[in-house]
Each structure stands twice: as structure tokens, then as C-alpha cells.
Amino acid sequence: MLFQWLSRIPRILAGLAAAALIAASLPQAALAASVPTITILSVKAGESVKIRGENFPKNTDFTVRMDVVGHQGIGGTVVTTTNSGNGSFEAEYTIPATLKNERTIAIRLESASGWFSYNWFTNNTSSPTATPAPLAGGGKPYIDIIGVEKNKTVTVQANRFPAGQTFTVRVGPFKDFFKKYVETGTLYSGNGGSFKFSVNLPESVRDVDMITIRLDSNQGAYAFNAFKNVNSGTVVIVDPPQPTGTACSITATAPSKTLKPREDFDATWTVKNTGSKNWEMTSVDYKYLSGSEMQKYGKVFDFKQTVKPGESIKIIVDMLAPDKAGTYTTTWAIVQGSTTLCNLPLTIVVK
């Protein structure tokens, strides 16, 4: 699939010129060399970011820049200079005052000889990660696009994912991804390795020609790919792995009838807890994740009861059909904190 290769190279590449908005290529003379990379180790919101640089050219001075995302840090505020030493190093840099309130920040290291590497981070306090988690099967995680239903759903094959990590799923336009992405939910990697999952495309990318999907965890693992927003491949609704002891089965959904424009309706899911742990009413909610927003009221609601293994619950959300004819998909989920326990997709037809 077009742009499939994007998933197999880091988002941070070194070279003499940028070859794309998300990845850059190495100069021809350096194609056989290792690729310099920046790993975000920790962040103190509004204060500093700690990084690890690897595979840098030895004993080379680099200018450190920071900027809002979307420009790969090019022309950003100069923070300091740093020397690459033996090619691998850790350093902590102060976030410029002009950026301390930004949600996401790009960091770029560039040398006078043309080498550069860049990354970005969320400006939230996070704990240090001493070393990246081991990856199942070795190598970096990557994702393949299996199928696309235009404006609705993308089915993805995850490969080489680390086990037991929760990934934030972000979807946005290819050209302006870092400025306009939407967080569509979270994904748990289970035993790691390879697995399939589906993501409903948010309204923000409706009729966008090229779309990027990216997954990243607090432990520093990430993968991304881009795809054409046209019907292609094989689209199947696949739930990702679930945390140990959590599992569900959707036994009924409603409505099944065709709706009129702006018709009131109840979106209903009957869900059975097929795992081994309680869904405690004190810690489990159901919330909107992605797709068409048709709910009349809030986006997150408390469970009214504890659901034990083997028991079922009926989840009802008051909704209003869109005012134009078409097919609309919304995805809600049963969640516990930042962990998704069960995805709740629903598709309606308006005529």
C-alpha cells in the first residue's frame, strides 16, 4: 500500500535534507551509516525534557532547538549546544519560556555539517524511562494498513509490539498531522508481537486524501503509517488485545432500523463480562472514543452497578441522528482509567 514504507523507518531520521513531513532521509554518502535518533526519556511540564541520543556522529557539536510541532523544529528557539561525545549520550534541556504552555513541542538537534535528528513530546510531566521495553521478536514496532473504508474505518496489523503497554491512538491529516491529530482512544498490546485492530476515523479527517495513524506509549514505543482515504484492502472490525482478566462480548446493539434526519434515538449495547475480573462501578466508566459524535449530553458516564464475570449490562446513550442522509459510525468504550476494556462500535443509516 502507498506509504507502507513509512511504518518501517523511524519518525526521526538524520540527513542533509527532509524527504517528507514525518520522516527525513539520509544524504546519499551516508546511506550505509546508522541513523541518529532521539528518545524522549522524561518531561517536567513547562520546565525541561530529558532525551537519549543514539547513533550520532562522534565528537560533533549540535545546536539544540525547540518549537511548536509541525515544522520538525526547523528555525526553532535555540536552547543550547551539545556535543555528541562517543555518539550516544543523555541530556536534559530547559523548555523555552515561549513554549512552556504548549501542548506538544518539537525538539531538534542539528550540526553545521548537515546532520540532524528530531522528535516531539507531550508537555506533561512523565517518569523517566531508563531503557526502552524489550520488543517481541526484536526490532522496532511497526504497523501495516490492511484495509480502509473511506471516511469510516481503518484495519491495522501491528507487528513487533512490546507486551503489556497501553498505546494512545492518534489520527490526523498527513500534511498537518502534528497540528491537527485527534486522540481516538487507547490500545493495549497484550502479549505483544503481532495483532490486528480497527480504528474508526474521526470526523476531522472526513474527505482528507491522505491520513496518518500513530500509536505511542508512555514507555517510549511508537509506530505510525499513512494511507489513502479510499476503499481498499479488507476491512474487518477487530478488537485489540485486552488486559489480563478483562474481556467482553457484545450480545446486542440497537437501533437496527433506518433513522430519519435529526431523529432522537437510544444507542444501546448489551455487553457481557466474559473476563475474570469485576467491572467495579467505582472505577469503570463508559465513554465516547471516536467517530461521529451524536450524543446529546456528555462524553463519559459512570457505571451504575458492578458487573461480575458472566454478568451483562445494558449501556444506553441518548443520541440525535445527523441532519444529512448517510451512514455514520460512532465508537464508545468501557474504560478503567486510561485502559480500554471493551470497544462499543455502532453504525446507523440516516435516510
User: What CATH number does the domain containing 178 carry?
Assistant: 2.60.40.230
Examine the domain organization and report whether 56 and 18 are in the same domain: yes
Sign of CA dihedral 20, 23, 26, 32: negative
pLDDT at 314: 95
What's the confidence (pLDDT) of residue 25? 31
Our measurement of the distance from residue 111's CA atom to the centroid of its chain's CA atoms, rounded to an integer in Å, reads 30
Does the residue 133 lie in any domain? no
Q: Identify whether residues 228 and 301 lie together within a single domain.
A: no
Number of domains the chain contains: 3
The pLDDT, as a whole number, for residue 72 is: 72
Query: Do the domain assignments include residue 301?
Result: yes
Task: Check residue 30 and give its pLDDT.
Answer: 30
Q: Show pLDDT as tens, one digit a residue, over the chain (351 residues).
A: 444 334 343 443 433 333 333 333 333 223 223 567 888 888 899 999 999 888 888 999 999 999 987 677 888 899 999 999 998 999 999 999 999 988 889 899 988 877 888 888 888 886 544 344 444 344 678 888 888 999 988 989 898 898 878 788 889 898 888 788 887 777 778 778 888 888 888 888 999 999 989 998 877 788 888 889 999 887 766 656 655 555 677 888 888 888 999 999 999 999 988 888 899 999 999 998 777 889 999 999 999 899 999 999 999 999 999 998 887 878 888 988 877 788 788 888 888
> Which pLDDT score is estimated for 16?
32
Q: Which domain holds residue 261?
A: 248-350
Contact 171, 210 (CB under 8 A): no
Which CATH number characterizes residue 304's domain? 2.60.40.10
Model pLDDT, residue 62:
94
Q: Is residue 128 part of a domain?
A: no
Q: How far apart are CA 155 and CA 147, in angstroms?
A: 5
Between CA 169 and CA 182 the distance in angstroms is: 8
Let me know if residue 239 belongs to a domain: no
Look at residue 222 and tell me if it is in a domain. Answer: yes
The pLDDT value recorded for residue 242 is 59
On the question of a cis peptide bond just before residue 255, with omega within 30 degrees of 0, the verdict is: yes
